[in-house]
Amino acid sequence: MSGQRPRVALVGATGHGLWHRRRIAPLHEAGRLRLVALVDVRPVEPAPDAPVPDGVEVFTDHREMLRAARPDVVVVCTPPHTHLPIALDVLAAGADLLLEKPPVLSVAEHRTLSAAVAETGRACQVGFQALGSAALAELLAAVRDGRLGTVTGIATVASWQRDDAYYGRAPWAGRRSADGRPVLDGALVNPLAHAVMQCLAVAAAAGGGAPVAIELERYRTRPIEVDDTASLRVTLDEGPVVVAAVTLAGEEFIPGEVIVHGTRGRAVLEYPTDRLMLPGEPGLREVPGRVSLLENLLDHRADPARVPLIAPLSRTGGFTAVAGAVHAAPEPLLLGGDLVAATGEGPARVTTIRGINGALRRAAEELALLSELPVGWAARPYRVALPVADRPVADRTGTWTRRMRCDGK
Ligand SMILES: NC(=O)c1ccc[n+]([C@@H]2O[C@H](COP(=O)([O-])OP(=O)(O)OC[C@H]3O[C@@H](n4cnc5c(N)ncnc54)[C@H](O)[C@@H]3O)[C@@H](O)[C@H]2O)c1
């Protein structure tokens, strides 16, 4: 019986990898899978809530692990700039993949990985776990059923704080690139990636087409290479616009709202807490339940026709188009002086942009960029039009594929 359990390996076993180990441990105990290997270039310590079961081999090189442990499924939770080469090796070894977000960092990398998925016939699930939320599913159903009328815009607003310790957590923290490859550890592509992805999923349900233009303003309050505050608008070739107004230098905490503007009403999803408000409802209510991406991948392997992946690579093409624009954009504007307050000492120091919450809220309500509002410090937006061949397209299930060119290639 144990021979039939899918053999699972985890690459990147400390850091966020511990979160995966905590979820793999009970599935291993229950006989749902068999954890066969952990891989990390750093020492892997046992954790009380994520024990390393007997017989699990620990490797420092994922290729050696693939040869020796022959896993059926590999979870990849390494820094973003390492994702593509490791993912390609996993697929070439014949294993299915759960790849952490951001899956890849350019449209070209997305295309390379999509081609490998198609050629090998393996599954690639991306670690956008909020896509498995029951609250999102209810919102998507309401949008598809026309309960909001025609959806005219989707916006996300989030106001977080990150301290100096956060930017010292890893060599790639706050960096635009690492080891010569994009890493993009900014607000939009890393901590608030889920906010952007949720909006794009709603846009697809509302009949949104391919992204045709991306407008972007990026700001920073510290000597980092990426944004800690950003204003983004994605125009699709049909359907609603998508706006993101986010900061890691916020005043009051806003966990992350996805606001859907429709001709018959407005919906709000607070995605980190899975609380939802549909038109006519008095406030946010909890919609508990998330389908685990790993369990969904195991179910999909067992019965692909009946169980679609929740977060297939193909669904993340729009997100990666945003990441590509972030990489191509000029360096973020450094804010300072009276505009930015610093509080706390040493690693606990945080920064706050005065008036930021009001500005972000207004951007989300008006589907505007900060530079289109009376925000004196706003930068000129970086604007990029996506060439037709680079545009991913989405169907109403939210599955993104690359647009076929007229010549069929
Ligand atoms: N889904 C989420 O909500 C969520 C949350 C946090 C992080 N993440 C993602 O998880 C990934 C890892 O983030 P992190 O914060 O744990 O990073 P990290 O740098 O703290 O940890 C990554 C781990 O990978 C190891 N590693 C690096 N290169 C390796 C290689 N070539 N082979 C094997 N191991 C290697 C490192 O030693 C480290 O233990 C990132 O893509 C990040 O965006 C996702």
Residue 364 lies in a domain: yes
Beta strand 333-334 pairing with 211-220: parallel
Type and span of the H or E element at 217: strand 211-220
Residue 110 lies in a domain: yes
Shared domain check, 142 and 75: no
Shared domain check, 140 and 123: no
Residue 409's pLDDT band, with cuts at 50, 70 and 90, is: very low
Quote the tokens at residue 148: 């909001």
- Going by CA atoms, what residue is nearest to atom 25 of ligand 1? 12
Ligand 1 mean position, distance from CA 164 (Å): 19
Is there an atom of ligand 1 within 6 Å of 101 CB?
Answer: yes
Ligand 1 mean position, distance from CA 7 (Å): 21
By most ligand atoms within 8 Å of CB, the mutation choice from 14, 16, 90 for ligand 1 is: 16
Quote the tokens at residue 270: 């607070």
> What local confidence, expressed as pLDDT, does residue 331 receive?
96
Residue 249 lies in a domain: yes
Is there an atom of ligand 1 within 6 Å of 12 CB?
Answer: yes
Residue 305 lies in a domain: no
Please give the average per-residue pLDDT across 246-271, as a whole number.
98
d(CA 88, CA 10): 15
Q: What is the mean pLDDT of the chain?
A: 94
Residue 307 lies in a domain: no
pLDDT, greater one: 335 or 1: 335
> What local confidence, expressed as pLDDT, does residue 401 receive?
47
Please give the average per-residue pLDDT across 115-133, as a whole number.
98
Secondary structure of residue 394 in the 3-state scheme: strand
Is there an atom of ligand 1 within 6 Å of 186 CB?
Answer: no
Residue 393's pLDDT band, with cuts at 50, 70 and 90, is: low
Chain-centroid distance, C-alpha 26: 25
Residue 392's pLDDT band, with cuts at 50, 70 and 90, is: low
pLDDT at 337 exceeding the cut of 60 = yes
Residue 407 lies in a domain: no
Question: C-alpha distances in angstroms, 148 versus 151, 242, 285, 297, 307?
Answer: 7, 16, 18, 32, 28
> What local confidence, expressed as pLDDT, does residue 407 receive?
27
Type and span of the H or E element at 75: strand 73-76
Please give the average per-residue pLDDT across 75-99, as a whole number.
98
> What local confidence, expressed as pLDDT, does residue 263 receive?
98
By most ligand atoms within 8 Å of CB, the mutation choice from 18, 38, 77, 290 for ligand 1 is: 77
- Going by CA atoms, what residue is nearest to atom 21 of ligand 1? 15
Amino acid identity of residue 159, one-letter, is S
Q: Which of 149, 156, 143, 191 is nearest to 170 (CA)?
A: 191
- Tell me what percent of the chain is helix, strand and coil, each rounded to the nearest 5: 35, 30, 40
Please give the average per-residue pLDDT across 150-165, as a whole number.
98
Residue 188 lies in a domain: yes
d(CA 393, CA 305): 22
Q: Which of 319, 325, 332 is nearest to 379 (CA)?
A: 332
Please give the average per-residue pLDDT across 373-388, as a whole number.
93
Q: How many domains, the chain?
A: 2
Shared domain check, 244 and 379: yes
- Going by CA atoms, what residue is nearest to atom 34 of ligand 1? 40
**Do residues 402 and 393 lie in contact, with contact meaning Cβ atoms separated by under 8 Å?**
yes
pTM: 0.94
d(CA 400, CA 396): 9
- Going by CA atoms, what residue is nearest to atom 1 of ligand 1? 127
- Going by CA atoms, what residue is nearest to atom 23 of ligand 1? 12
Beta strand 211-220 pairing with 96-99: unpaired
By most ligand atoms within 8 Å of CB, the mutation choice from 39, 57, 59, 78 for ligand 1 is: 78
> What local confidence, expressed as pLDDT, does residue 391 receive?
63
Amino acid identity of residue 65, one-letter, is M
Shared domain check, 378 and 361: yes
Please give the average per-residue pLDDT across 23-28, as a whole number.
96
Type and span of the H or E element at 356: helix 356-366
d(CA 116, CA 341): 47
pLDDT at 303 exceeding the cut of 70 = yes
> What local confidence, expressed as pLDDT, does residue 386 receive?
87
- The full DSSP string for 115-169 is HHHHHHT--EEES-GGGGBHHHHHHHHHHHTTTT-SEEEEEEEEEEE--GGGGGS
Amino acid identity of residue 33, one-letter, is L
> What local confidence, expressed as pLDDT, does residue 4 receive?
87
Please give the average per-residue pLDDT across 101-122, as a whole number.
97
Residue 400's pLDDT band, with cuts at 50, 70 and 90, is: very low
Q: Ligand 1, closest atom to CA 61?
A: 32
306 DSSP assignment: T
**Do residues 388 and 213 lie in contact, with contact meaning Cβ atoms separated by under 8 Å?**
no
d(CA 50, CA 172): 25
- The full DSSP string for 269-283 is EETTTTEEE-TT-SS
Longest CA span, the chain: 66
> What local confidence, expressed as pLDDT, does residue 403 receive?
40
Please give the average per-residue pLDDT across 336-346, as a whole number.
97
- The number of beta carbons lying within 10 Å of the beta carbon of residue 279 is 14
> What local confidence, expressed as pLDDT, does residue 22 receive?
96
Shared domain check, 258 and 119: no
Shared domain check, 150 and 125: no
Domain that holds residue 93: 2-129
Question: Among the listed ranges 121-130, 302-311, 381-390, which one has the minimum average pLDDT value?
Answer: 381-390
Last residue of a domain, one of 87, 104, 129: 129
Last residue of a domain, one of 104, 129, 154: 129
Is there an atom of ligand 1 within 6 Å of 20 CB?
Answer: no
> What local confidence, expressed as pLDDT, does residue 51 receive?
87
**Do residues 228 and 334 lie in contact, with contact meaning Cβ atoms separated by under 8 Å?**
no
**Do residues 14 and 49 lie in contact, with contact meaning Cβ atoms separated by under 8 Å?**
no
Handedness of CA 358, 362, 365, 371 (dihedral sign): negative
Shared domain check, 143 and 125: no
Is there an atom of ligand 1 within 6 Å of 42 CB?
Answer: yes
Ligand 1 mean position, distance from CA 16 (Å): 6
Shared domain check, 137 and 119: no
What is the tens place of the pLDDT at every residue in 355-368?
Answer: 999 999 999 999 99
Shared domain check, 201 and 151: yes
pLDDT at 390 exceeding the cut of 70 = no
pLDDT at 270 exceeding the cut of 60 = yes
Ligand 1 mean position, distance from CA 47 (Å): 17
pLDDT at 227 exceeding the cut of 60 = yes
Last residue of a domain, one of 88, 110, 129: 129
Secondary structure of residue 100 in the 3-state scheme: coil
Beta strand 211-220 pairing with 229-236: antiparallel
Residue 112's pLDDT band, with cuts at 50, 70 and 90, is: very high
Q: Which of 56, 76, 59 is nearest to 67 (CA)?
A: 59
Secondary structure of residue 179 in the 3-state scheme: coil
What is the share, in percent, of the chain residues with pLDDT greater than 70?
Answer: 94
Is there an atom of ligand 1 within 6 Å of 256 CB?
Answer: no
pLDDT at 294 exceeding the cut of 50 = yes
pLDDT at 153 exceeding the cut of 50 = yes
Shared domain check, 246 and 109: no
Chain-centroid distance, C-alpha 143: 22
- Going by CA atoms, what residue is nearest to atom 28 of ligand 1? 78
Ligand 1 mean position, distance from CA 12 (Å): 6
Residue 298 lies in a domain: no
Please give the average per-residue pLDDT across 255-271, as a whole number.
98
Q: What is the CATH number of the domain that holds 32?
A: 3.40.50.720
Shared domain check, 327 and 182: yes
By most ligand atoms within 8 Å of CB, the mutation choice from 23, 100, 194 for ligand 1 is: 100
Omega of the bond prior to 288 within 30 degrees of 0, cis? Answer: no
Ligand 1 mean position, distance from CA 193 (Å): 15
Is there an atom of ligand 1 within 6 Å of 41 CB?
Answer: yes
Q: What is the CATH number of the domain that holds 160?
A: 3.30.360.10
Shared domain check, 168 and 45: no
